[in-house]
Structure 1
Amino acid sequence: MPVNQTLSAFSDTAFQTAFVVYLLALVLSLIFYVKMQGVIDARRLREHIAEPERVAVRTGASTTDLTDSPDEDTAAADTPLTDEHFAAKESSAHKFGGMTQALVWVGAAIHLMSVVLRGLATYRFPLGNMYEYISMICVLAMIAAAIVIQHREWRSVWPWLLVPILVLLFFAGTSLYSDSAPVVPALQSYWLPVHVSTVSLGAAIGIVSGIASLLYLLRMWQPLGKERGFFGAVAKPLPNAKKLDALAYKSAIITLPVLGLGIVLGAIWAEVSWGRFWGWDPKETASFISWVLYAAYLHARATAGWRDHKAAWINILALATIIFNLFFINLVVSGLHSYAGLN
């Protein structure tokens, strides 16, 4: 069946538009991030100034006697930290956070439209090559992240998610781009949307989980309220370590069964196509290793003595195997799945 070039062109335009919208969302999220650093500094300064007053009320001493540096406190008192000023400062920051969230949803909608139009243009499920596969993983990751990041306290995570997604999309849209065309005969099966879409969803949620573990390690290194140096300033707007660890854990709980189901469906398809369920093909092996690592992470996360950075490193290793599987196995290693990078 011939390709609908009009819908294909619309799909490409939607992909490029989504990339630009995500890029604008990244800019706004960075502005929000910097403003939140200022809000946190202002809040801590207010608390520092107010503490001697609270102690003075309890003890009956004067605030001058309770301050270690009168000159510093005098300078701090001159800082415009009234309730109105602080509220305006916080409102300005959250305004950019809200705009970031709105732009992400707009970008995800346009991105999803690109995927759907690609499928309609080729009269098949849009998972026939690496360009389409990465695009699908990215849009699922963005939708999953947008659902999770609803509360204000999580919006500081957006820059950390948008940067790798934009890198993946840029690489897919340039080096891996393929013109709309029918897939190779090996992929002309109803198992394509069933197996590959399930694996894509598992990988997308796994990416969110892995990034959350990376941020958890950063926050453990720079505890909330005790940040120091450059990395401390970078970590300052992030949620506390417990919340980041919970996000990684809950995401991995979804990743494990979804990815496992995708592997099982792939084995069934392999039996139909190649006459065997499992043959330790490089992609099969790498996918199985990823699944084992997610299982190991969840087990370690529930085991006493491993509920700290040790378990998080396992989750990060699982993320690394997904990325390795996505690029090296698909594009470099020769195997039965080598057609994944071709049209």
Structure 2
Amino acid sequence: MVPKNNQIKTLMTCLLLAALLSPAFLTSVNGQSSGLTVGEWPLDEVKPSGSNVVTPDVSGYNYGIIGGDAHPELVESKFGKAMQFNGENFVYVAVKFVVGFPPMSELMYVPISPGLDIQKYVEIDAWIKVAGYTDEPYNNIVVKCDHPDQKCEWQNTLRVLGLSIRANPTEAGNGYVEGALSGFVMTDTDGFNEIVTNEPLPLNQWVNVKFTRTSTGMHLYIDGQEQAVKVLEGIQNPRGNLVNGTEYYFGHDGLAIIDNVRIIDLEPADITEDAFDIGPNITLTVIVVAVIFAVAWLLRRAIQLWIIKPKI
């Protein structure tokens, strides 16, 4: 006989899956035979969404939430409008978030945009115009982060994938020139790996920057030309799958104008057509999850009372 606690956990899991797979919350991701753009943000528009200010992506589902006391400004760019970051603001894109309600004893992740968790080969592409550098070692263009201990605090944040500009080389140990372009991945086999260009990016000039991780390793490109690089940490062709993350940040800790960010899965799985993204319905999803756990808690109490009720 299955213990009552296990029955309750099974019921809770089924309720949660039923809600997350409901057509009201799911949006199909279109599969392609080779290379799948899982997110594209023109960064040329902001609009209110509930209590947040957001910038949409091309699909309309992976909204970026504007963060920072002073929001990034929309300025003229190579392709119309783009976002100018001041080192203290950013765009936040959720991949999944952490929830925990009674009677759960442990926190769990609820997927928001699982398509952004690329497993193998990836490309990050953007247009940027760099005005200067902050004192932070990583002036981020695009960075994907994870919270392995499920505590959403910045002290517990790991960078697992990204394209950045390296600054403050004295602070970081003189392993690169200031202004070098950096690309990095964390894999489940070889840990953290990073490459940097030998030459700095030009200032106050529009350039297209790209980072790829393919079967031949990690590569960096400026205006379509592959750059000579050095390995700053790990190896250039790490083994294993990419570590999943909880969110992306654009422009974090950087002084750049950023335009048209794209994230591409270079080897989408065969099941991509059946994958789903919850999209921007975060608030509604949280409410539904809360209701589900509340119902599960009431069911648990009812079962407990039934178990201890005297048999007449």
TM value normalised by structure 2: 0.27
Between structure 1 and structure 2, the one with the greater Rg is 1
Which structure is higher in strand share?
2
By percentage of residues, which structure has more helix?
Answer: 1
TM-score normalised over the length of structure 1: 0.25
